[in-house]
Structure 1
């Protein structure tokens, strides 16, 4: 079988993924990188980790491309697994004048001694370690939970495909995963190409390795499938199209090229993103109806416990695409417990950290944004809710936006531009929008704030403009 030719090399090599250390209920697993010229490493940081009072273990650091304003830069990436408590030491090659670890909401305050930064972790975290304010040559540090999917022995069988540590080039750049199959990508493995779940059901893709095409595009894709789980991997893009009951957990998506969206959802239902990390060169996560050959609306989409970093475009974007002749609906969308690290968008038509732009006769309703912490992004709007007609992408304006809750949203910063809430005409409205405990630089925005004109709410440097064809927008403590 062709599949055996591709993957059974793992068995011949007799490689077991990971180097574990177990001590008094603590466990630490590190994964050596492949010794291959096909894998680019980065030497900006020396990364070490240990259990309490244990010996330091070195963590290999990969190069990863990220999108800077005018070019593509090489940042760093490292990962390990642990349970209990660990101490992390990051030693920079350059002098450390200032260090920060994000998301800031984790309140991880490192000790700085010369060029070394040390801190403790008592739970899994997906982090950005930044020295001297440099966000384009930072360290992406993924401190994972212990991998319970790791097989006791490496094997490939009829329904289990195993990628051992090392570099694997997929024939034709794609692996189409059949129904009832588990694909495991071990820590220390780099799979070049796309793992595609297409017209399949009951599929699991897991591990700690890296999956990415040689140049650009999706590392993992789900198309017209159901009952799919994806867990723990590092990739570029991870879209879901015309599928149902898909769970994507602790997956990290980093892209640097044009239209490098992170985790799109097209025409799907019952999709859960849990604990994901997205740093992308376009929208981090989107919900669209009919698009790219996928047909239908979207229902029951949830993203929770996650971190979003948009080097360009939106962290969260809903509603743009659909079939204008079908009057499609996107509903029951939930975004809960999320940290947004950046948003940078120059174009006025593509604004908003939390954005719903209804086009193509779409109706977007029953959307919840709750417990979202937005850091001081570089450029753009906090919120953008619009019924609009963008002829570049749409054949009609949207039908409506209704029943949207913003609860316990915080923004601390000075770069937020004027946010917009705007309908289209008397038949295409934005209505029933509630802000509860919207806190801007420590100030709660409410309808009873004194001395504010009716058409905007303000708190320090953030403003929200409420335009025409908008009904029932409330701000409460």
Structure 2
């Protein structure tokens, strides 16, 4: 009898423990950042109403995409488990919450979609499978715990509110070595940021850097640029670039970390998400990018005409990201490749949400793909790895190509020097796409070959790719040692 009583008591205690565990798992906290009261009305979005943890989340219009549809985004901080409800303003039949790697199905009741986030994540809503229509990007982040001291003389601190630094004729914010620029949640700074020839610079915060004008001045049109910077960091901020110019870039820089960066730049075109130019020892972790051109581009840009004399590109790590490109490539190395060499590049654990080739020239530019290496200049590529990459929707899957022109002759190449590509690995690449899923490998000539390319565990719509004779492959004669396993 005592044993039976003991078993009953233990059972009750276990149920209470489980109940407490479930309660702590389900109930979470949300920090919502109100949009500035004086924010111009066109920067607000009413296409989606969003609530998280019972709190209203203000939505922003990031600009219009290639098909003249607005791209909406919003953000909040969270801890614990949080329920999110989204109500689109337009009628819809079906919906997707991507990436599918998050495993979020959601439930629909009337015109609202509800789902639960067990941890911070970036979630995109696509209606009626229309990736070119109105979409919502929602950024749920962990709570911020280390806000810098606003009284520190080395801190430039933007409080919540709308900070218009001026449009045409105004200069960017220039940071000095050792400075931190902080944009608080609920703050929107309209302007540009520069960090030139500096070290130990930090650009961070839960707020938004907005650029909606093309200055065409001596400072350049990129919204956020680090030029010849070292031991520096970009962290947490949202950069909303509504211009036909690059959104963010590092050039000639080294030992730079970019963490939890969010870039929204849907205007067609030339609005790359984040370019890594002629740099080394660069780490990206946790990015989200929606661009109308390359989401990520690694380029060799130099005043040198000979690649051998130009700055090398090496030790680049890009991981734990979500990428969306309405034109060109989601992941691109090139087309500009004036660099002494390009080596030790790694892309890992990435969801490619969408990749389209070109609004004006669909299916006319076969060198564009979800994962792309395109060389215009004879240099040496080696030790490049793409691993654990999932493609939701794209025109083409993989392109590795040497050529002399890019985009109808807009860029011209040079193959007089020595050049090669070798040691390129694609591992655990999964495509769910309804595109062609083409995998192209095209060297230039007998002296400029692509070799030692490994395709390991490539799965397309549930079927593993077994050999290069499958219809996905296009391989020219200037290649060797192409392995599929």
TM-score by length of 1: 0.86
Instruction: State the partner residue of 2:139.
Output: 142
Does the Cα contact within 8 Å between 1:305 and 1:336 map onto a contact in 2?
yes
The structure 1 residue matched to 2:202, chosen from 201, 204, 229, is 204
Q: In the aligned structure 2, how far is the partner of 1:211 from the partner of 1:305? A: 22
Q: In the aligned structure 1, how far is the partner of 2:352 from the partner of 2:183? A: 28
Give the secondary structure class of the aligned counterpart of 2:97: strand
Instruction: State the partner residue of 1:101.
Output: 97
The structure 2 residue matched to 1:32, chosen from 6, 31, 34, is 34
The structure 2 residue matched to 1:338, chosen from 322, 346, 350, is 350
Does the Cα contact within 8 Å between 2:380 and 2:419 map onto a contact in 1?
yes
Q: In the aligned structure 2, how far is the partner of 1:175 from the partner of 1:94? A: 39
Are 2:461 and 1:441 equivalent residues in the alignment? yes
Are 2:396 and 1:386 equivalent residues in the alignment? no
Instruction: State the partner residue of 2:17.
Output: none
Deviation at 1:121, TM superposition (A): 0.4
Q: In the aligned structure 2, how far is the partner of 1:344 from the partner of 1:406? A: 21
Instruction: State the partner residue of 1:456.
Output: 469
Change in 2 beyond 3 A, CA 1:388/1:23: closer
Deviation at 1:23, TM superposition (A): 11
Give the secondary structure class of the aligned counterpart of 2:101: helix
Deviation at 1:292, TM superposition (A): 7.4
Q: In the aligned structure 2, how far is the partner of 1:106 from the partner of 1:23? A: 17
Which one is further off, 432-441 or 33-42? 33-42
Map 1:267-282 → 2, pairs under 5 A? 267-282=278-293
The structure 2 residue matched to 1:348, chosen from 365, 389, 393, is 365
Instruction: State the partner residue of 2:335.
Output: 320
Instruction: State the partner residue of 1:13.
Output: none
Does the Cα contact within 8 Å between 2:176 and 2:198 map onto a contact in 1?
yes
TM-score by length of 2: 0.84
Change in 2 beyond 3 A, CA 1:23/1:466: closer
Deviation at 1:84, TM superposition (A): 1.3
Kindly tell me the number of residue pairs found equivalent between the two proteins.
430
Gaps of 5+ in 2: 1-23, 215-220, 242-246
Instruction: State the partner residue of 2:109.
Output: 113
Instruction: State the partner residue of 1:4.
Output: none
Higher strand proportion (structure 1 or 2):
1
Q: In the aligned structure 2, how far is the partner of 1:332 from the partner of 1:392? A: 29
Gaps of 5+ in 1: 1-21, 51-55, 448-454
Instruction: State the partner residue of 1:16.
Output: none
Instruction: State the partner residue of 2:264.
Output: 254
Q: Deviations over 1:222-248 (max 9, x none)?
A: 111101111111113121100001111
Q: Deviations over 1:21-79 (max 9, x none)?
A: x99994321100001142521112211111xxxxx1111111111423xx432121110
Deviation at 1:272, TM superposition (A): 0.8
Instruction: State the partner residue of 2:164.
Output: 169
Q: In the aligned structure 1, how far is the partner of 2:299 from the partner of 2:393? A: 27
Does the Cα contact within 8 Å between 2:105 and 2:115 map onto a contact in 1?
yes
Instruction: State the partner residue of 2:445.
Output: 425
Q: In the aligned structure 2, how far is the partner of 1:142 from the partner of 1:418? A: 32
Q: In the aligned structure 2, how far is the partner of 1:27 from the partner of 1:37? A: 27
Change in 2 beyond 3 A, CA 1:389/1:24: closer
Deviation at 1:258, TM superposition (A): 2.0
Instruction: State the partner residue of 1:220.
Output: 224
Give the secondary structure class of the aligned counterpart of 2:119: coil
Deviation at 1:392, TM superposition (A): 3.3
Give the secondary structure class of the aligned counterpart of 1:457: coil
Are 2:377 and 1:365 equivalent residues in the alignment? no
Q: Deviations over 1:154-206 (max 9, x none)?
A: x2442001001111123624101100011110111111111111111001111
Does the Cα contact within 8 Å between 2:30 and 2:55 map onto a contact in 1?
no
Q: In the aligned structure 1, how far is the partner of 2:349 from the partner of 2:439? A: 22
Q: In the aligned structure 2, how far is the partner of 1:126 from the partner of 1:201? A: 30
The alignment's C-alpha RMSD in Å is 2.2
Change in 2 beyond 3 A, CA 1:319/1:131: closer
Higher helix proportion (structure 1 or 2):
2
Instruction: State the partner residue of 2:250.
Output: 240
